Structure 1
Amino acid sequence: MLGRFRRRLGAYYERLLQRELDGPDRAPTHVAVIQDGNRRYARRKGEAATAGHRAGAETTERVLEWCQDVGVSELTLYAFSTENFNRPPDERAALFDLLCEKLREFADADRVHENDVCIRALGDVERLPERVQEAIEYAESRTAQYDRFVLNVALAYGGRNELLTAARSVAGDVERGDLDPDDIDVEAIERRLYERPVRDVDLIIRTGGDERTSNFLPWHANGNEAAVYFCTPHWPAFSRADFLRAVRTYEHRERSWRRTRARRALALLKAVGEPELAEARAVFSRFRDSLPKTERAGALDVAPEGVGPNRVANDHRDGRDADRPE
């Protein structure tokens, strides 16, 4: 009886969280997940580490669906880091077997093809066993034609190594005379990170209780000032409510940042001088119209005096600003 009540309460809470979100047009475009806690989850249940990894793989499938439900277009999963090569051989072997199984299973799944999911691997995949490389090639080739949703699986991945490899490539091109140092820009680096473009990361989620980003996608996350959501559930126990809270955290930060930008812009315009208030009105109006309806009333708080909706008429009178005291 108590279990059924908890399930009903949980379902109600999920619906409440869903209603609080702004909608697909405001959702993060690219979510990156550090799937921490598989082994601790298994230990708490008195099971082997491999059981925790397998339970985590089931969570991964659910998160893919949740991302599509809220309007996310790209998901990156930190599946195997360069540091994971230091784990015991039997645990690594079981992980590699599970990766092979899931990559092939995903590549053949009807839901992947129905939703045009493109599967890609990020990282130094040549360090992986041949059977894993073959599974990666299979999954990528089976889904290469899709572009509606991108699922990146970070394997043998390390952010520092990624940047170091790109830097070495740039240095080599400069030394050979193929690249002028003055032509080194953001695009030059990004072309050397991955064969196909990766969107800037909007939101990083880390499960398991640790509050660090573990060298994950530094170029695309730190450079974009991605929001970060840390939560305590181990990855296999990560729920839809946890996911929705993470998206809500991102949206709250974006709302705050939009208001801050508006305050700065409007304060700057007013500081320039009263005659520029007409332009300020136009800027404020465009900003306010771009907000969700629930935020428009609060946006009035950021408007400088004379820019509110009741003061938008009569721009000038007898060569003087209409809002200037007579």
Structure 2
Amino acid sequence: MTGWLRRRALSLYERLLERELGGAPSHVAVIQDGNRRYAESRGKEKTEGHRAGAETTEAMLRWCRDLGVEELTLYAFSTENFDRPEDEREALFDLIESKLRGFADRDEVHENGVRIRAIGEVERLPERVRDAVAYADRRTRGYDDLRLNVALAYGGRAELLNAARAAARDVAAGRLSPADIDAAELDRRLASRPTRDVDLIIRTGGDERTSNFLPWHANGNEAAVFFCTPYWPEFRRVDFLRAIRTYEAREESWRRTRARRALALVSSFRGTDLPEARRVLDRLRGSLSEEELAEAGVEGAAD
């Protein structure tokens, strides 16, 4: 297949995928893996892979805006990344600083109301990066159409441990009752708090793991996960559409599972005249087909 035909086929497939989608998830989180391997596969310096990946990040922001995603979280620098060689680490810090300031000054960011903020142990970053974080936060404060969270010096386990230890200290000091420690209290104590739970995690580069990324807001919400082989600089809009399709398929599966469980509960009211059972059954009839209702053995359960 020639290059032109390949591009044409890809364009048609992309349009087909977009037409099939019912809607985008509210919050997408991305593990941008494969920058270094992308550079190595082309005989370039690792820093060039990160620069190429930054271009994909810019495109991703546009795709989210166009498709109606309300929040995007990018795993830009993990706590484990501090163990990388100093020259690579410093080059990454330079790139993060440059991109944060560049994004904060872009006309399209202000025209589209993009709120930029960092999550993670920002205090561990060099001063120049902290200054860039503060600059981006200040320049976009007040916007809320699309939220861009940049995870810097972030580690999910450490964050949960710190929140648990802080709660334990308050209990020991008598400032908090153990009975008051619930999900809302722990969530309040997390240093990295996206606006909403994560609906979809995307990881590029071929590895199939979520690498300690937003365990409270993603795993706790049972987020859909999409693993793909392209390195982050190679990630295309069609790959993003495939990820959203995976999210929609999983949501549909969960919807049907929840409906079936609820139907089983409603079936226990058979022969009774409970108004609540009638209302539940009416809602479920819109979630499952008549065949599925019949298979569950609850057709007319509240009639």
Q: TM-score, structure 2 length as denominator?
A: 0.93
Structure 2 CA distance for aligned equivalents of residues 261 and 29 of structure 1: 20
The 5 Å alignment of 1:57-136 reads 57-136=54-133
TM-superposed CA distance for 1:247, in Å, is: 0.6
Matched residue of 1:272: which SS?
A: coil
1:215 maps to a residue whose letter is: N
Structure 2 CA distance for aligned equivalents of residues 127 and 195 of structure 1: 14
Structure 2 CA distance for aligned equivalents of residues 232 and 217 of structure 1: 21
Q: How many residues align?
A: 302
Structure 2 CA distance for aligned equivalents of residues 210 and 19 of structure 1: 29
Matched residue of 1:15: which SS?
A: helix
Whether the 8 Å contact between 2:263 and 2:284 is mirrored in structure 1 is no
TM-superposed CA distance for 1:268, in Å, is: 2.2
TM-superposed CA distance for 1:31, in Å, is: 0.8
Structure number, greater radius of gyration = 1
Counterpart position of 1:257? 254
Counterpart position of 1:7? 7
TM-superposed CA distance for 1:141, in Å, is: 1.1
Cα distance change, pair 197–249 in 1 and its aligned pair in 2 (3 A): closer
Deviates most, 269-278 or 55-64: 269-278
Cα distance change, pair 154–218 in 1 and its aligned pair in 2 (3 A): same
User: Which segments of 5 or more consecutive residues in structure 2 lack a partner in the other structure?
Assistant: none
Whether the 8 Å contact between 2:266 and 2:281 is mirrored in structure 1 is no
**Is it true that 1:163 corresponds to 2:160 in the alignment?**
yes
**Is it true that 1:145 corresponds to 2:142 in the alignment?**
yes
Matched residue of 2:246: which SS?
A: helix
Structure 2 CA distance for aligned equivalents of residues 276 and 13 of structure 1: 51
Deviates most, 175-184 or 78-87: 175-184
Whether the 8 Å contact between 1:259 and 1:299 is mirrored in structure 2 is no
Structure 1 CA distance for aligned equivalents of residues 114 and 196 of structure 2: 15
User: Which segments of 5 or more consecutive residues in structure 1 lack a partner in the other structure?
Assistant: 292-297, 316-320, 322-326
The 5 Å alignment of 1:163-242 reads 163-194=160-191, 197-242=194-239
2:135 maps to a residue whose letter is: Y
TM-superposed CA distance for 1:21, in Å, is: 0.6
Matched residue of 2:225: which SS?
A: strand
Structure 2 CA distance for aligned equivalents of residues 282 and 220 of structure 1: 32
Counterpart position of 2:291? 301
2:206 maps to a residue whose letter is: G
1:161 maps to a residue whose letter is: A
Counterpart position of 1:294? none
1:100-144 CA-partner distances (Å, limit 9, x unpaired): 000001111111111111111111111111100000000011112
1:164 maps to a residue whose letter is: L
Whether the 8 Å contact between 2:27 and 2:71 is mirrored in structure 1 is yes
TM-superposed CA distance for 1:54, in Å, is: 0.4
Structure 1 CA distance for aligned equivalents of residues 153 and 276 of structure 2: 52
Counterpart position of 2:32? 35
Matched residue of 1:31: which SS?
A: strand
Cα distance change, pair 276–59 in 1 and its aligned pair in 2 (3 A): farther
1:46 maps to a residue whose letter is: G
1:36-69 CA-partner distances (Å, limit 9, x unpaired): 0000001111110011000000101111111122
What RMSD in Å do the two structures reach over aligned CA positions? Answer: 2.2
Whether the 8 Å contact between 1:262 and 1:302 is mirrored in structure 2 is no
1:236-284 CA-partner distances (Å, limit 9, x unpaired): 0001111011111010011111111112212221233233598656434
1:265-323 CA-partner distances (Å, limit 9, x unpaired): 1222123323359865643443455x6xxxxxx63332237876xx79xx9xxxxx6xx
Matched residue of 1:118: which SS?
A: strand
Counterpart position of 1:324? none
Deviates most, 202-211 or 256-265: 256-265
Matched residue of 1:75: which SS?
A: strand
**Aligned pair partner of 1:48 in 45, 48, 66:** 45
Structure 2 CA distance for aligned equivalents of residues 307 and 276 of structure 1: 14
Whether the 8 Å contact between 1:32 and 1:201 is mirrored in structure 2 is yes
1:20 maps to a residue whose letter is: E
1:59 maps to a residue whose letter is: T
Whether the 8 Å contact between 1:202 and 1:226 is mirrored in structure 2 is yes
Deviates most, 12-21 or 197-206: 197-206
Counterpart position of 1:269? 266
Structure 2 CA distance for aligned equivalents of residues 3 and 241 of structure 1: 17
1:200-237 CA-partner distances (Å, limit 9, x unpaired): 11111000000000000011111111111100000000
Matched residue of 2:268: which SS?
A: helix
